[in-house]
Amino acid sequence: MNNKIIFYGLIVAFGLVVPFLFPAFKLQISIMLILIILSLTWDVQGGQMGYNTFGNILFFGLGMYICSSFQIGLFFPLAEWTASGGEKTFVHTPTQFFQGFAVGLVLSGIIPALVAALIGYGILGLRGHYFAICTLGLGIAAGELAGGIELVGAGQGMTSPPWPKGIGDTELRSEFFYYICFTLMVCTFLFLRWAYTTRFGLVLNAIRDNEDKAEAMGINTMRYKITGWVVSAFFVGMAGGLMGNMIGYIEPVETAFAGRTFGVFMVLMAILGGKGTLWGPVIGAVAFHIFKEGFWIFFLGWQYVALGALIVIVVIFFPEGIMGWFREKYPERFGEVIDEEDRKAEVKLN
Amino acid sequence: MDLFKKIFSIFAAISFFVSLALPAQAKVEGDTIILGAAVSLTGKYSTNGEHTQNGYNMAVQRINDMGGVTVGGKSYKFDIIYYDDESDSGRAAQLAERLIKQDGVQYMLGPYSSGLTKAMAPVTEENQIPMVEANGASRSLFTKGYKYLFAVLSAANQYLEVAIDLAVEKNGGNPVNIAMAFEQDAFSQDVRIGVVEAAERTGSTIIIDDKLPKELNDMAATLAKVKATKPDVLVVSGHSKGALTAIRQISEMKVDIPMLAMTHCDASKLAKQHGKNSEYALCAAQWHKTLSYSDSFFGDGQQFDKDFNDMFGYAPPYQAAESAAALLVYKAAFERANSFDKEKVRDALAQTDMQTFYGNIKFNDTGQNIAKPMVLFQVRCEGDVCANRVVAPTKWASHELVHPIPSWSTR
């Protein structure tokens, strides 16, 4: 137990000093933290519950739009902010900026969570491929819809409020968003770590292993499935709100409902790291981000080919992901007791 | 727990090596001035991203071959760090930050498309890094009070205003009925704003106003409406793919319209790809090789056209020409500033007033080039060979506008 506390303490300490160790990489690392949140929350459905969702990107985009809309709408007319591709300029005072940001960020968690509860009731009744395809449609439809809503800039996108003038420079801005991202990541991780130790976690696993049996045993699986999705939507939505602020420009299909990039990445990262484990998605996200950024430099124009090759390698050599591979190699470290005598015993077939 | 420590230390080590692999470069290394650019090498803008990159590369090579940039009595060469923004605005904003913070770039070149420029401009502006861009035409780029953004091209809303004016003129000065279909992206929606304003100004009526999805590859529904309502002019904008889709379906469905106004005809090589089917399409362009501008690096438009063709094997669309011009603007600004201080370079950029093969360049307070008009050309065929012929403004017109477009039954 002591070891664990030291280990977590070290990670948190490392996280706190990172902006000073790698000052040029603050945005990159912040985005990595967002990716960790995305893969952790995807794993609630995809890994623990066995429901492969492509729809979590819906909450990411919603969170992005909601956060920025409230940040703007609380102080200025939103329709004027986005009119004609954002021709008019409004400037937030620091107080307005931070008040708006706090309200926007909280709502960017709550509203997607409500949406998840509403649509979850219908969609989570689907299983297997049907569920996957249905959720795939969600993200695409949301992107097209957002592209038609004039209030949020439609196809021209909208800018999120720029960092207010008069309080620090771009360094302070990146540090601010880095620490918010870090806090959100830690909260997500701790919450899920706790949730997986409760009955909730066990039920999710039961649903994955045999949903009919779980139901037959008297578990209201739908309730748990919806709760799981609400949890994911809450954290993904907040991650989206943060991302919108960090990037500064929200485009319906490229940044908000970016099914082709973040929507796919979150699945990939969880699988790369090992789905159904707590640490797998974290390790997967870190490894993925480092590889991806590396490929972007060294294989300019061929980065997706290199990424494809990496996926093929993972599928062939690490079908269970990085954590799965470790688990197979060192099962005793994962609390699996191995009877050495039994293991070495000769097996005789009749 | 040791295992976790191992994993942890491995990743700490990896991140350390990654940071070593990316040393923060200085803005000027030895005798090289390093510019940064994120262009679309993959994704939906990859064709136009390539035109942009080719334009940049050709200008860098030409300037370096002709003695480079002279600052403080010493000659420097240009070099560009490229990244691929994948036609994704989120990615573009990240790359802008990466170029500035990690690669230490102090002078930026623009990406391709309004949307990506809109995503990058807030980053360069916040970091006070000058950016000369050649492919972001959105009007909203010039109303934000950006101080470090300079665009060598005319704003998007000016693209097809002229076409509406022409249609009204051909209609005896009477208002016309306009049908329009625009892709849901920053650039096309800005072109739409220009057309809407022109319609208001001339009292014309917009009878069809369709928004089309990104990566436009079907507009049959719009065309069916056009067939039924018979407007005087059809306006379509959706980058290269939109232009190709429009011509393909108009010719398949044999839609007769008196005037068809579009964008991106030369970037999509419309005249070559669709031949006679594309004849009479009216296109807005930032530049055409027959315009009578010239400079000492590329000569005139015809010369640029020839040199570009020799180097890359295809005729330069205006995207390549304006991109090359951006480098000429930078070179002149560095020499005028006679310094590498980014503030001095910015001030020198703001005072730009020069002629290039691509057109005159003079920025107003918002960084917009106000010295260069748009041109309109019409695809015309002689036998089976089709080419773009300038029809407006009259100063450079080589051919008369054919209006109305002959019906498909007579073509």
Structure tokens at B114: 């309004």
CA distances to A78, A124, B124, B241 from B112, in Å: 28, 41, 16, 15
Mean pLDDT of A199-217: 94
Does the pLDDT at position A159 exceed 70? yes
Residue B49 binned pLDDT confidence (cut-offs 50, 70, 90): very high
Asked if A277 has any chain B CB less than 8 Å from its own CB, the reply is no
Predicted pLDDT of residue B143: 84
Whether A251 contacts chain B with CB within 8 A: yes
pLDDT tens sequence across B353-396: 999 999 999 999 989 998 888 899 999 998 888 889 999 888 88
Are the beta carbons of A156 and B140 separated by less than 8 Å? yes
Residues A217-241, mean pLDDT to the nearest whole number: 95
Kind of pairing, strands B32-39 and B28-29?
Answer: antiparallel
Instruction: Give the residue extent of every domain in chain A.
Output: 42-257, 273-334
- Please state, in angstroms and rounded to a whole number, the distance separating the CA atoms of residues A81 and B138: 15
pLDDT at B115 over 50: yes
Q: Find tokens 């996957």 and name the residue.
A: A132
- Is it the case that residue B56 has pLDDT exceeding 70? yes
Report d(CA B95, CA B124) in Å as an integer: 11
Q: For chain B, give the mean pLDDT.
A: 88
End-to-end CA distance of chain A: 46
- In sequence order, the 6+-apart residues with CB closer than 8 A to the CB of B247 are B270, B274, B277, B278, B281
Residue B23 in contact with partner chain A when CB distance is under 8 A: no
- Asked if the C-beta of A90 comes within 8 angstroms of chain B's C-beta atoms, the answer is no
Answer whether B117 touches A (CB < 8 Å): no
Contact A85 B4 (CB under 8 A): no
How far apart (Å, rounded) are the C-alpha atoms in residues A147 and B119?
16
Residues of B in contact with A252 (CB under 8 A): 184
3-state secondary structure of B333: helix
- Residues of chain A with Cβ-Cβ distance to B42 below 8 Å are 301, 303-304
**Cβ-defined contact of A162 to B4 (cutoff 8 Å):** no
**Is A247–B119 a contact, with Cβ atoms under 8 angstroms apart?**
yes
Q: Do domains B20-154+291-362 and B158-285+374-410 have the same CATH topology?
A: yes
A210 pLDDT higher than 90:
yes
Q: Is the pLDDT of residue A156 over 50?
A: yes
Identify the closest residue of chain B to A279 by CA–CA distance: B4
Which residues of A are less than 8 Å from B183 in CB distance? 155
Q: Give yes or no for B21 touching A (CB within 8 A).
A: yes
pLDDT tens readout for residues A315-344: 888 888 888 888 888 887 777 776 777 767
DSSP character string of A282-340: HHHHHHHHHHHHHHHHHTTTTHHHHHHHHHHHHHHH-TTHHHHHHHHH-GGGGT----H
Work out the mean pLDDT of chain A and round it to a whole number.
89
**Which residues in chain A have Cβ-Cβ distances shorter than 8 Å to B213?**
144, 147
Q: Which residues in chain B are closer than 8 Å to A248, comparing Cβ atoms?
A: 93, 119, 122-123
Which segments of B39-134 does DSSP mark as H helices, in order?
46-65, 89-101, 114-126
Neighbours of A87 (CB within 10 A): 18
Give the separation between CA B51 and CA B47, rounded to whole angstroms: 7
Which pLDDT belongs to residue B304?
94
Phi-psi domain of A335 (left: phi exceeds 0; alpha: psi -120 through 50; beta: other):
left
Topology at the third CATH level for domain B20-154+291-362: Rossmann fold (3.40.50)
Residue B13's pLDDT is: 54
- Chain A residues with CB inside 8 Å of B90's CB? 243, 247, 249, 251, 254-255, 258, 261
The model's pLDDT over B224-267, given as tens digits with 9 standing for 90+, comes to 999 999 999 999 998 888 899 999 999 999 999 999 999 988 88
Q: Whose CA is closest to B143, among A161, A245, A90?
A: A90
* Contact state of B140 with A86 under an 8 Å Cβ cutoff: yes
- For the cut 70, the answer to whether the pLDDT of residue A350 exceeds it is no
The closest CB to that of A290, out of B4, B18, B84, belongs to B18
Q: Does A292 touch chain B (CB under 8 A)?
A: no
Beta-carbon separation of A87 and B42 below 8 A: no
Nearest CB to A301; choose among B5, B41, B115: B41
Q: Is the ipTM of this complex over 0.85?
A: no
**pLDDT (0 to 100) of residue A110:** 97
B contacts of A301 (beta carbons < 8 Å): 41-42, 84
Task: Please determine, for residue B183, whether its predicted confidence score (pLDDT) is greater than 80.
Answer: yes
Looking at chain A, how many residues does it have?
Answer: 350
Please, which contacts does A192-201 make with residues 24 or more away whose CB atoms are closer than 8 Å? A192/A40, A192/A41, A192/A44, A192/A231, A192/A278, A193/A278, A195/A231, A196/A48, A196/A278, A200/A224, A200/A227, A200/A228, A201/A48
What separation in angstroms does the CA of B280 have from each of B94, B274, B346? Answer: 42, 12, 43
Interface of B with A in 269-298 (CB under 8 A): none
pLDDT for A52 beyond 50 = yes
pLDDT in the model for residue A2? 79
Structural fold of domain B158-285+374-410: Rossmann fold (3.40.50)
Average of pLDDT values for B109-135? Answer: 92
Does B23 have pLDDT greater than 50? no
pLDDT by residue (tens digit) across A12-45?
Answer: 999 999 988 888 888 889 999 999 999 999 999 9
pLDDT tens readout for residues B61-95: 999 999 999 998 999 999 999 999 988 888 899 89
Q: What pLDDT sits at residue A279?
A: 92
User: How far B97 CA sits from the closest chain A CA (Å)?
Assistant: 8
Q: Give the B window 71-110 contacts with A, CB below 8 Å.
A: 82-84, 86-91, 93-94, 97-98, 101-102
Chain A CB within 8 Å of residue B149 CB: no
Tens-digit pLDDT profile for residues B307-336 = 999 999 999 999 999 999 999 999 999 999
pLDDT at A223 over 90: yes
A22 with B183: Cβ contact below 8 A: no
Confidence of residue B406 (pLDDT cuts 50, 70, 90): very high
**Best residue in B185, B192, B197 for a mutation probing chain A (most A CBs within 10 Å):** B185
- Is A255 an interface residue toward B (CB < 8 Å)? yes
Would you call A84 and B140 a contact, using CB atoms and an 8 Å cutoff?
Answer: yes
Q: Does B133 touch chain A (CB under 8 A)?
A: no
Distance (Å) from the alpha carbon of B42 to chain A's nearest alpha carbon: 6
| A329 near B CB under 8 A | no
Cβ of A255 and B89 within 8 Å?
yes
CA B331, CA B327: separation in Å to the nearest integer? 6
For residue B21, the model assigns a pLDDT of: 46
The HSE-up count of residue B170 (CA atoms within 13 Å, CB side) is 18
Tell me the angle at which helices B318-337 and B301-312 cross, rounded to the nearest 10 degrees. 110
| pLDDT value at residue A154 | 80
Query: Of the ranges A104-108, B8-12, B49-53, which one carries the lowest mean pLDDT score?
Result: B8-12
Best mutation target among A4, A80, A87 (most B Cβ atoms within 10 Å) is A87
Determine the pLDDT at residue A185.
Answer: 96
DSSP for A67-134 reads HHHHHHHTTS-HHHHHHHHH-S-----HHHHHHHHHHHHHHHHHHHHHHHHHHHHHHTT--HHHHHHH
The mean pLDDT of A181-207, rounded to a whole number, is 95
Read off the pLDDT band of B3 (50, 70, 90).
low
Residue A252 is classified by DSSP as: I
Question: Nearest chain A Cα to B99, which residue?
Answer: A24
B239 strand-pairing partners: none
| B5 chain-A contacts, CB cut-off 8 A | 7
Nearest Cα residue in chain A from B19: A22
Chain B residues touching residue A28 (CB < 8 angstroms)? 94, 98, 102
CB pairs under 8 A between A and B: 156
pLDDT of A236:
97
pLDDT > 70? residue B1: no
pLDDT band at A90, cuts 50/70/90?
Answer: confident
Instruction: Quote the CA–CA distance of B335 and B326 in Å, as a whole number.
Output: 15
Q: What residues does each domain of chain B span? A: 20-154+291-362, 158-285+374-410
Cβ within 8 Å of B, A 180-239: none
State the pLDDT at residue B99: 92
Average pLDDT over residues A147-169: 85
Find the residue in B nearest to A244 (Cα). B90
